């Protein structure tokens, strides 16, 4: 009988179990040894390396925006400054329902409803722990209103910041300009290192042209953050002490302008309610004393941010308040060029001091029935060059134009600076046009249009036709008249001051090519005629200049906006206001020692002597110290 084998071999199983247990124990000891060895390496041998890396993960470098430099007038009065203000900010990760929160803020009139979508987009696309600025400057009433409602708005609060402020509002908006929020083009154009932490940059005027000086250099500071990148309080002084030293931002330089606050205000007030521009300068060094374009706007709106509706109202205004007429507006100079053409005619022999013309109120080219009319329908009678300037006789210059010729006109007018940018320290200045035969050939493609016609020379002699100039160019040209040919490049920046040391870099006058007239008496003759414009018995602006406590010189001008048929008669008072002639006036004073030049353009002002001349005199009165005496 065969023996049955046992179902289990307990001895074999025990040996197998003991072997496996020993293997697992040895493996565990080996693995634990590796872990211990690695921990020893990390915590002992590599402690410094990883401690430094750990600290780096906790520390974030944050840019510190520099304080923007201040802007002063020539007497040290503040024109642009930085004021502390409270901004309304939203931290997206702390707000459960951003849309509802924004809607409720709009209901409290703390933000504009039109801006809600933009704020929602900024909240979605930015880092959730970084604040989104909803309003750059809160009024005291808005702060009080929100403070009461704050518990209803978790994640929304107001924070102190510095914002640009223009204490004189509209007064310097085109000269000094304004700062605005950085856009995509600005970010691509500007140095990212210098502009780290900066939200605004100069957009127009001196704020833009001197941006490099005004902005300063960014600094940085170290912040302790958690794993999600949010700032947390430092948990040990040792950590703070181990951080690199923060680098302070370098403030921007202060700018001193040649503008005079009182003269600027006199020009601004005199233009009130009109469209136009005034430029006043010192003819002995080119310093701009006043630069006004009207209507104007409040630059503070751009500095603190405006709603789409507010910007649309400015942009779509038919009076174009954002347009700087003083340096960008080009207008026919009208009769203001007659003193310059008189010097050209005397110098070239096209006329002389005794030549007289019988002014019957119109002029005709030989063989042509078209009548070129004088501003005085009945005519001036017999006039010489002096009378033609003082009384602004168009017929004299119509007749003179044939002898002088368009190319001589072009040569001498460009010597006075007309037809090209002056080089003022502002961005975007426009040049004018002083036509010539060559200019017409280069600017027209059709052969018939390239030909220069005698009639075009006739109307060019009174500053019409193709001729265009900016108010600034007229002021510079008048400065050359006042100094008898000596010319200086116009500038507004008088000095740049280091905000820390106080050291100033003074802008030196820059001489440019003089207007050379061989016979000095010609200067005296023409300037005396300009003096009689304002203070002579038959001058066109004698009603403005008579009785003034100083001697002055000037020249009125008008520029047609629409063409009038030859035989038509019209009353400007019956025309729509925007179809009336532009009014111009150039002037300087005192006559024998010129200290100020003023050029004025009033769009659709009709009369240079009646509308523009009083504005020029108000500006000269203020600068020369007679403002109180004249009621300005």
Any domain includes 133:
no
Q: Domain span at residue 467?
A: 261-624
Strand locations in 195-287 (E): 200-202, 219-224, 254-257, 276-281
- Which of the two residues, 565 and 281, has the higher pLDDT score? 281
Residue 48 Cα distances to 43, 226, 494, 532, 601, angstroms: 9, 20, 56, 90, 74
Give CA–CA dist 74/507, Å, rounded.
Answer: 12
Q: How many domains does the chain have?
A: 1
Q: Which DSSP state fits 169?
A: G
Q: Which segment of 99-113, 488-502, 533-547 scores lowest on mean pLDDT?
A: 99-113
Q: Is residue 192 among the annotated active site residues?
A: no
Q: Are strands 179-181 and 156-165 parallel, antiparallel or unpaired?
A: unpaired
570-620 per-position pLDDT tens digit: 555 667 777 888 899 999 999 999 999 999 999 998 888 999 999 999 999
For residue 115, tell me if it sits in a domain: no
Residue 187 scores a pLDDT above 60: yes
Query: Residue 618's domain is classified under what CATH number?
Result: 3.40.710.10
Residue 611 lies in a domain: yes
Residue 434 lies in a domain: yes
Instruction: Report which of 189, 339, 318, 338 is spatially closest to residue 603, judged by C-alpha positions.
Output: 318
Residue 57 confidence (pLDDT) = 53
Query: Per residue in 225-259, pLDDT tens?
Result: 655 445 555 555 455 555 555 667 789 999 999 99
State what percent of residues in the chain have pLDDT above 70. Answer: 88
Has residue 208 been placed in a domain?
no
265 within some domain: yes
pLDDT tens digit sequence for 422-440: 999 999 999 999 999 999 9
What is the spatial distance between Cα 376 and Cα 540, in angstroms, rounded to a whole number?
A: 11
Residue, of 488 and 250, whose pLDDT is higher: 488
Query: In the predicted model, is pLDDT for residue 193 greater than 60?
Result: yes
State the distance between the two ends of the chain, measured CA to CA, in whole angstroms: 145
Using CB atoms within 10 A of its CB, is residue 425 exposed (0-12), middle (13-18) or buried (19+)?
A: middle
Cα–Cα dist 205/211, whole Å:
10
Residue 574's pLDDT is 63
pLDDT higher than threshold 80 for residue 398 = yes
Q: With beta carbons less than 8 A apart as the criterion, state whether 530 and 553 touch.
A: yes
Catalytic residue among 173, 258, 335, 392: 335
Question: Does 543 reside within a domain?
Answer: yes
Cβ proximity of 159 and 131 under 8 Å: yes
| pLDDT > 60? residue 1 | no
């Amino acid at each position: 009988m065969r023996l049955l084998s046992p179902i289990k071999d307990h001895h074999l199983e025990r040996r197998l179990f003991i072997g496996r247990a020993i293997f697992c124990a040895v493996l565990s000891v080996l693995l634990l040894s590796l872990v211990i060895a690695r921990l020893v390496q990390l915590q002992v041998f590599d402690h410094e390396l990883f401690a430094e890396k750990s600290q780096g993960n906790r520390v974030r470098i944050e840019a510190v925006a520099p304080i923007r430099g201040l802007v002063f007038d020539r007497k040290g009065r503040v024109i642009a400054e930085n004021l502390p203000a409270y901004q309304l900010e939203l931290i997206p990760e702390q707000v459960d329902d951003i849309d509802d929160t924004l809607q409720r803020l709009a209901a409290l009139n703390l933000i504009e409803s039109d801006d809600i979508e933009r704020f929602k987009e900024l909240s979605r696309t930015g880092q959730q722990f970084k604040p989104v600025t909803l309003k750059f400057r809160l009024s005291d009433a808005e702060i009080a209103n929100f403070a009461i409602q704050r518990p209803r708005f978790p994640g929304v609060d107001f924070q102190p910041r510095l914002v640009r402020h223009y204490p004189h509002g509209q007064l310097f908006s085109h000269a000094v300009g304004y700062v605005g929020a950085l856009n995509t083009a600005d970010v691509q154009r500007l140095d990212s290192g210098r502009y780290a932490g900066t939200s605004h940059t100069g957009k127009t005027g001196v704020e833009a042209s001197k941006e490099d000086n005004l902005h300063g250099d960014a600094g940085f500071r170290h912040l302790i953050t958690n794993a999600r990148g949010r700032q947390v309080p430092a948990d040990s002084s040792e950590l703070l002490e181990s951080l690199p030293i923060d680098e302070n931002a370098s403030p921007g330089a202060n700018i001193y302008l040649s503008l005079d606050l009182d003269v600027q205000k006199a020009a601004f007030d005199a233009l009130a309610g009109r469209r136009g521009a005034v430029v006043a300068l010192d003819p002995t060094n080119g310093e701009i004393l006043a630069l006004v374009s009207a209507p104007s706007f409040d630059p503070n709106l751009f500095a603190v941010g405006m709603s789409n509706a507010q910007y649309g109202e400015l942009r779509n205004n038919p009076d174009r308040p954002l347009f700087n007429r003083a340096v960008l507006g080009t207008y026919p100079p009208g009769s203001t060029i007659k003193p310059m053409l008189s010097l050209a005619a005397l110098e070239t022999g096209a006329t002389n001091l005794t030549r007289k013309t019988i002014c019957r109120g119109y002029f005709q080219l030989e063989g042509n029935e078209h009548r070129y009319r004088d501003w005085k329908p009945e005519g001036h009678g017999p006039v010489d060059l002096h009378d033609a300037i003082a009384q602004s006789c168009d017929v004299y210059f119509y007749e003179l134009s044939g002898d002088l010729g368009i190319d001589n006109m072009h040569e001498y007018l460009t010597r006075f600076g007309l037809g090209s940018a002056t080089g003022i320290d502002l961005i975007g200045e426009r040049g004018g046009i002083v036509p010539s035969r060559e200019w017409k050939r280069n600017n027209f493609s059709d052969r018939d249009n390239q030909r220069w016609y005698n009639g075009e020379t006739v109307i060019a002699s009174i500053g019409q036709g193709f001729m265009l100039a900016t108010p600034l160019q007229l002021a510079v040209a008048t400065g050359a008249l006042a100094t008898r040919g000596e010319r200086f490049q116009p500038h507004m920046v008088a000095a740049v001051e280091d905000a820390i040391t106080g050291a100033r870099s003074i802008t030196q006058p820059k001489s440019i090519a003089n207007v050379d007239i061989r016979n000095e008496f010609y200067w005296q003759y023409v300037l005396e005629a300009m003096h009689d414009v304002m203070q002579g018995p038959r001058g066109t602006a004698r009603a403005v200049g008579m009785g003034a406590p100083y001697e002055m010189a000037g020249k009125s001008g008008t520029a047609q906006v629409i063409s009038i048929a030859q035989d038509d008669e019209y009353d400007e008072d019956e025309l729509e206001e925007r179809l009336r002639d532009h009014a111009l006036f150039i002037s300087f004073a005192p006559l024998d020692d010129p200290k100020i030049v003023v050029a004025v353009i009033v769009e659709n002002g009709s009369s240079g002597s009646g509308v523009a001349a009083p504005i020029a005199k108000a500006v000269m009165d203020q600068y020369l110290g007679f403002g109180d005496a004249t009621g300005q």
